[in-house]
A and B are shown apart, each in its own frame.
Chain A
Amino acid sequence: MHDTDTRLARINLGLICFIIVVWFYIVVTPLAAQINIWVDGFAGQKDRLSRLLDDPKGSISQSNVNRLIVPGMLLDSAIQNSDKPDLHENVWHLPESSTPNQGGNTVLVSDRFSYNNAYGNFYFLDKLKPGDKLGVVWRQKLYHYKVVDSKTYSAHQNDPLAKESQQPSLTLYSAGPLWYQNKRLVVTAQLTDPQ
């Protein structure tokens, strides 16, 4: 009888450990990006990316890769041009939209969070405020933008993607808030000057 109790007690201890591990995964995964930034320091990384945009020599624009640089989101990512987007890994240029060199509205799309990819490129999209600076390197030219608007839409409402713009503008499009997969967070920025 005593042996059976001891064996059951061990099995119970194993189950308790298993439950703790599962709940650790459920609770901590959405916070992984925040923890990562807390460890590395948000301000330091933001300053480093801001300096890239403010570099008077414009060395960033010598990159052969189209890039999106957003200091306020700690983002420096290549822009994918493809018919089959991989939104987990890349910032994707919506083919129907314009491009920075053509004027009009350029739309860039990426994921924020999923349990498969806890730190998506646009994880910190909600941190952007009007006035924040961002840059796009497009065909070896750096375009500076300033955030003018941040809004949440229904996922079934495609209007922000179809928006025509007289002024050269940039739209960053993702899911959000983090726990609402049926909502879309859309940040609009306007061109300030091409380098």
Chain B
Amino acid sequence: MNQQRKLVILIIIAAVSLLIALVLTAVASNPLGSQFK
């Protein structure tokens, strides 16, 4: 696989991974707090 094609695939994987990490951090940041506000 040439390096350019590899770069495109890695950018997509990196973006999806970052998105998963951000969503998990945001969604699971305050599991109980809102219930007792």
Contact = CB atoms under 8 A, between A and B. Distances in A.
Interface of A: 4-5, 8-9, 11-12, 15-16, 18-19, 22-23, 25-26, 85, 87-88, 92, 94, 109-116, 155, 174-175, 181
A154 B25 CA distance: 22
What interface size band does chain B fall in?
A: 20 to 34
Interface in B1-37: 2-4, 6-7, 10-11, 13-14, 17-18, 20-21, 24-25, 27-33, 35-36
B14 A114 contact: no
B20 A9 contact: no
Contacts, number: 70
A16 B11 CA distance: 9
Contacts of A25: 21
A16 B10 contact: yes
A55 to B, nearest CB: 32
